[in-house]
Amino acid sequence: MRKLVERELTSEGPVRAGGAKGKRRSVTVNLGESPIAWLHARGHIDNRLFDAGEALRGDYERARLSPNITMRWDVVRVKSTGGTGLTGSEQQLAAKQRFDGALASAGKGLEDVLWRVVCAGEGLPEAEKQLGWPARSGKLVLKLALDRVADFYRIT
């Protein structure tokens, strides 16, 4: 489900709206859009890097590495004849191994921004600030990390 919200931006705010000082404008923001999807939709990363990020995020979610609440709301599974032949626990472990391998292939120093943007859903400016990096340096580092992850997942 897409949830769109209209927000007001000012030229003094963290996002520059342009125009005269104090002039306001509003933009529509899709709250369900991930930072990596935002970068892909605007041409900042190509299809290969986007697919690598989605593969990594898929393994992150399949391995159930995100924080949990006290109650499990998982869908009850019905046994079927199709599938991989692995139990749910085996699928989770395999996803965790792929996730760990992909992060290791990204390398030290690159895994931080990769995890923050792709898995945790932080925007690049927020990730740069949390990591103590200069502004606008995260996109280059993220591209390098995604390129290595694409090699790991053998995405061409």
Provide the token pair at 56.
Answer: 């990594």
Q: Is the pLDDT of residue 9 over 60?
A: no
Q: Is the pLDDT of residue 149 over 70?
A: yes
pLDDT of residue 23: 61
CA angle 40, 47, 67 (to 5 degrees): 65
Give the torsion through C-alpha atoms of 15, 17, 19, 21, to 10 deg: -50
Q: Is the pLDDT of residue 143 over 70?
A: yes
pLDDT digits (tens, 9 = 90+) for 60-103: 999 988 876 666 666 656 565 556 677 878 888 999 999 999 99
Question: Cα 43 to chain center, whole Å?
Answer: 16
pLDDT digits (tens, 9 = 90+) for 14-68: 444 444 555 665 656 565 678 999 999 999 999 999 999 999 999 999 998 887 6
Looking at this protein, which amino acid is placed at residue 56?
L
pLDDT of residue 102: 97
Cα 99 from Cα 91, distance rounded (Å): 12
pTM (predicted TM-score): 0.71
Q: Is the pLDDT of residue 8 over 50?
A: no
pLDDT of residue 29: 57
pLDDT of residue 87: 80
